[in-house]
């Protein structure tokens, strides 16, 4: 099976992704300087973005990982109920935390994370999202760094899945509607 055959189109090709991530890396490096930020990746979707963004940073920084799950069928219809299934390894108290997400859709996942993290007293808390699907937003959240604003289409690739596949594609593609309807 060729996953590519199930795509209607490529939305963001690999070279545009990488060029934008390089720009984000330069901006983040400038903003944080010697603050030694902790980049928190939200598994699983954020893992490709985190690994490229980390390599685009020219400043000392640390990485940590968190897994979150939402009840109900995600991506097509969100339930709005979120819980931690794997927490961070270390305390974020007095740390400069940057949440790294692949996509902000309804905003429920991020809103839950922001509330949870704020209660842990970080020195600062910012958000970096590769993709922003603002049309679908149900919870308003300020995003500090955004890679691309995208339309309300079913996107896969570069960490984003459908039924756990497509994450390995090096670009962002749009799934053919007949694949999920």
Contact residues: ligand PRP, CB under 6 A? 42-46, 70, 74-75, 78, 101-110, 161
Closest CB 130 distance from ligand PRP, rounded Å: 10
- Of 35 and 179, nearer to ligand PRP (C-beta) is 179
Closest CB 60 distance from ligand PRP, rounded Å: 26
What's the DSSP call for residue 108?
Answer: H
Strand intervals (E) in 77-156? 82-86, 96-104, 124-132, 145-149, 155-156
Distance in angstroms (rounded) separating the CA atoms of residues 86 and 50? 17
Contact 135, 75 (CB under 8 A): no
Closest CB 80 distance from ligand PRP, rounded Å: 8
Distance in angstroms (rounded) separating the CA atoms of residues 116 and 112? 6
- Of 94 and 118, nearer to ligand PRP (C-beta) is 118
- Of 7 and 99, nearer to ligand PRP (C-beta) is 99
Contact 143, 132 (CB under 8 A): yes
Enumerate the active-site residues: 105
């Amino acid at each position: 099976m060729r996953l590519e055959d199930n795509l209607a189109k490529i939305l963001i090709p690999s070279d545009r992704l990488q060029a934008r991530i390089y720009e984000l890396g330069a901006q983040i490096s400038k903003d944080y300087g010697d603050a030694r930020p902790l980049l928190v990746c939200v598994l699983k979707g954020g893992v490709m973005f985190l690994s490229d963004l980390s390599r685009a940073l020219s400043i000392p920084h640390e990485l940590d990982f968190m897994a979150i799950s939402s009840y109900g069928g995600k991506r097509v219809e969100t339930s709005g109920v979120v819980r931690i299934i794997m927490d961070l390894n270390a305390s974020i108290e007095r740390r400069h935390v940057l949440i790294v997400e692949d996509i902000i859709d309804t905003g429920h996942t991020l809103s839950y994370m922001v509330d949870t993290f704020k209660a842990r007293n970080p020195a600062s808390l910012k958000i970096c999202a590769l993709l922003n699907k603002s049309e679908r937003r149900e919870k308003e959240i300020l995003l500090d760094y955004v890679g691309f604003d995208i339309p309300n289409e079913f996107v896969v690739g570069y960490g984003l899945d459908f039924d756990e596949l497509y994450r390995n594609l090096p670009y962002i593609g749009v799934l053919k509607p007949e694949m999920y309807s």
